[in-house]
Amino acid sequence: MSSYKKMLVAIDLTEEAPQVLNKAQEISKAHGAELLLVHVVEPVGYAYGGDIPMDLTELQDQLDKAAKEQLAAYGKQYGVTDNNQVITVGRPESEIHRLAKEQDVDLIIVGSHGRKGFQLLLGSTANGVLHGTECDVLAVRIH
């Protein structure tokens, strides 16, 4: 197993996030690696296909603010410094790929629900991250 120096852990800020964070913390300690804690907020317009005739800026701002607060709480709990906590807006797979490249990450850690059936082995985000990245990816099974 190679030695990892910088690990990106992508979480969805649900009650399942600690399962991924615990595994990430364990691996980062074993390798003496730096942790980069990431959450990607999907644009509100994506959920509605971009076809709603109203301004969603305030709702998006509220989602961003709530995400920053929750990520900061996880950062404090897991000892991840403020400058290693990233909230970004976009498609999760694309943003994770972009950040991994920009930050010279050598391991990406994501959660996976491991649903039944081969095509659902990984969730769509975990699968999207796996395909198209240049570094190792660890999918942590969510129970």
pLDDT one-digit tens code per residue, 81-120: 999 999 998 988 999 999 999 999 999 999 886 554 434 4
- Locate 124 and state its tokens: 């769509």
What is the residue extent of each domain of the chain?
A: 6-141
The third-level CATH classification (topology) of the domain covering 6-141 is Rossmann fold (3.40.50)
Q: How far is CA 121 from CA 23, 43, 104, 112, 139, in A?
A: 19, 26, 27, 8, 10
Strands 136-141 and 107-112: parallel
Could you list the beta-strand ranges (E) of 1-143: 6-10, 34-41, 85-89, 107-112, 136-141
pTM of the model: 0.84
Each residue's pLDDT tens digit, 57-72 = 888 888 889 999 999 9
Angle of CA points 65, 66, 69, to nearest 5°? 90
